[in-house]
Amino acid sequence: MNIAEYRLGNATVASAEDGFSIMESPDRGNKPGMQYDLDLTYVECMYCGRPVMWGKGKTSQLLRSSGFDTSLLDAECMILSEGCSQCKPETPLFHLHMVRVTSFSPQDAILLSADSKGHA
């Protein structure tokens, strides 16, 4: 049986062909007034770009167990995995990172492409 583990904050997720489990931290529940559906958070392998897929409700369980303040998460957030079972099948453990995706304006692109970046 092939088992892959993913770690995010205080939580470890074990994913196998026949199931899924979250370990190391109790489920903390939703924060009052939370509007964003945590299961809509996109999870992607940062090396091969494939989506990391698991069953319904598992992303929200992972995020609540991780110790993150889920009230700060929204549609601009995504989870990046340091590899996945598709591109690194020999690796049993993958660390996850929560990131916020932002867009660039045309002015931002010009500033980032300038030769002189300063010394700060």
d(CA 43, CA 52) in angstroms, rounded, equals 5
Whether residue 120 lies inside any domain: the answer is no
Whether residue 41 lies inside any domain: the answer is yes
Whether residue 117 lies inside any domain: the answer is no
Whether residue 118 lies inside any domain: the answer is no
Per-residue pLDDT tens listing for the chain (120 residues): 567 787 877 777 777 766 667 665 544 444 455 578 999 999 999 999 999 988 888 899 889 888 888 888 888 899 999 999 899 999 989 999 999 887 777 777 777 776 655 555
> Is-contact 30 37, C-beta < 8 A?
no
Whether residue 94 lies inside any domain: the answer is yes
pTM over the 0.85 mark: no
Q: Pick the closest to residue 47 from 79, 82, 77 (CA basis).
A: 82
Number of domains in the chain: 1
Range of the domain at 25: 3-111
Whether residue 119 lies inside any domain: the answer is no
d(CA 88, CA 11) in angstroms, rounded, equals 21
